[in-house]
Amino acid sequence: MDAGRVSGGLPATQTGNAPGGEIWSAEYWANKGGVKLNLWRKRVGAPQPSEKPLPVLFLVHGSSNSARSSYDLTVPGKDEYSLMNVMARHGYDVWTMDHDGYGYSGSSGNNSDIASGVEDLKAAMPVIASETGLTRMHFYGTSSGGIRAAAFAQAQPQSVDRLVLCAFTYKGTGAAEIARRRKRSDELRASTRRKRDADMIRSIFTRDGHPGVYDPAVPEAIIAMEMKFGDTIPTGTYLDMAANLPAVDPAKVMSPVLMIRGIWDGNSTDDDLLDFYRQLPNGDRQFVILPGPPVHDPARHRSQPRLWREPASVVVRDRQFPRRTRAGPGVVVRQHRRRAVSGPPVHKATLLRGKERAKLAIGFLRRLLGQVVSARERLSAADVVGISLPHLGWPVVAADAAGRTPQQ
């Protein structure tokens, strides 16, 4: 398989101010068996030959939209909706890619299923390694992008540092949206592409039954970006989610994992995702339920992405890990000093203005991606052997040390 930068791409551009400099961007191309795959990169400042490489974060898009409308969206008159910009401002070299048959990428004519997506990611790795000098990076995938990313972590673990799975689906048991797709299995098998018009994009924001949590300007901005590529997209990931789950064996995902779920996401259930979570072999793991943005894509929530703007209501604040005491030989009693807090913070952080709060917003991702002490080190320092599962209404459902499974 040949992969590399193809000449003729768009020139690097300056796209806005950021702390420490302007956000720089560039377009690259990978080659997957003759199919050109479009990569898009953002970071603060152009790369310099003598500088230390920034940590790389690779964003993997889902079934219905391409990379830039998923992760580099501009909504006129609104605040920041570009995860690429947010993470670039926090010191990451951020990459994303249009998968086979999506966006700016070429098409092999296949249905761009999960297996094809894994091959796409394999083709992208040499390009990123050539440009950054790094062969190991962090991955963040949303919806079927999470399935692609997890399947890639299973297939090529040496390339994956930390893994974020947002709006993920494991087996789909009991999930309303997966049940709807299963009824369409024959239709999805009949063609390599499916209809994805403006109405379908709008339906993504209403299908979970809570359309009011989204700003209607968001789907319209996505429509404006996507319709230039036509009104059809590949069927593969929809078919996989309808008929071929599970697509990932959690026991073979060796990296640290953060799982994020909107509480009413119709693509999954708590039980389905906790089943996956319990089987992950790396004890450096966390399962988070977002109580505020409750539906499928939390990054499109009306109140601005809680993932970025209100971390105190997403991640446990001032968390104290359980104290370990022994009631007898071999008996461990776990005692929580302080329980997790959901909803808005009650201390002086509530008084901070939006821009000041935004400075805190990326804390939970920085924690995940290794910019602060890892969960394993924190737990080890606290002499913790495990953490019991709190009530599912709490935002952080589980976090535990290496080699331990949370107790119910």
Range(s) of the domain holding residue 392: 13-400
Q: What percent of the chain has pLDDT over 70?
A: 65
Whether residue 266 is contained in a domain is answered as yes
DSSP strand pairing (137-142 vs 193-195)? unpaired
Instruction: Give the residue-averaged pLDDT of 371-384.
Output: 42
Residue 291's CB is within 10 A of a number of other CB atoms, namely 17
Q: Nearest to residue 57, comparing CAs of 30, 92, 31, 86?
A: 92
Q: Which of 243 and 6 is assigned the larger pLDDT?
A: 243
Residue 289: pLDDT band (50, 70, 90) is confident
The identity of residue 378, as a single letter, is R
Lowest mean pLDDT among 155-169, 177-191, 272-286, 352-366: 352-366
**Separation of alpha carbons 179 and 379, rounded Å:** 39
Report the predicted TM-score, pTM, of the whole model to 2 decimal places: 0.75
Residue 29 pLDDT > 90 = yes
pLDDT of 292: 56
User: What number is the average pLDDT over the span 264-288?
Assistant: 92
Query: Where do we find the tokens 């790369």?
Result: 47
State pLDDT tens for residues 199-218.
Answer: 999 988 777 666 666 788 88
Q: Is the model's pLDDT at 374 over the cut of 90? A: no
Task: Read off the pLDDT of each residue in 274-293 and give the average, rounded to a whole number.
Answer: 86
In whole angstroms, give the CA distance from residue 350 to residue 352. 6
Q: What is the CATH number of the domain that holds 27?
A: 3.40.50.1820
- How many domains is the chain built from? 1
Taken as a whole, the chain contains a residue count of 408
Pair 96, 67: CB distance under 8 Å: yes
List 27's β-bridge partners, or say none.
Answer: 40
Q: What residue type is 126 in one-letter code?
A: P
Give the pLDDT score at 333: 27
21 vs 36, residue with greater confidence: 36
C-beta neighbour count of 112 within 10 angstroms: 26
Residue 288 pLDDT = 83
6 backbone φψ class: left, alpha, beta (φ>0; ψ -120 to 50):
beta
- For the cut 50, the answer to whether the pLDDT of residue 358 exceeds it is no
Report, as an integer, the average pLDDT of 25-48. 97
Q: Which pLDDT belongs to residue 3?
A: 41
Determine the pLDDT at residue 262: 82
- 146-162 pLDDT, tens digit per residue, is 999 999 999 999 999 99
Quick check: is 3 in a domain? no
| Residue with the larger pLDDT of the pair 346 and 289 | 289
Question: What interhelical angle do 114-132 and 236-243 show, nearest 10?
Answer: 130
Q: Is residue 222 part of a domain?
A: yes
| 185 domain-assigned | yes
More confident of the two residues 223 and 339: 223
Q: Quick one: pLDDT band at residue 143, thresholds 50, 70, 90?
A: very high
pLDDT the model gives residue 208: 60
**What tens digit of pLDDT does each residue of 296-354 get?**
565 555 444 455 533 223 222 222 323 333 333 332 222 223 333 333 333 333 334 44
Is the pLDDT at 234 greater than 60, yes or no?
yes
Cα dihedral 53→54→60→65 (10° resolution): -110
In one letter, which amino acid is 376?
R
Residue 2 domain flag: no
- Would you say residue 208 lies in a domain? yes
Q: Domain for residue 216, yes or no?
A: yes
3-state secondary structure of 126: helix
Mean pLDDT calculated for residue range 65-76: 94
Residue 407 lies in a domain: no
Measured distance CA(24)–CA(22) in Å, rounded: 6
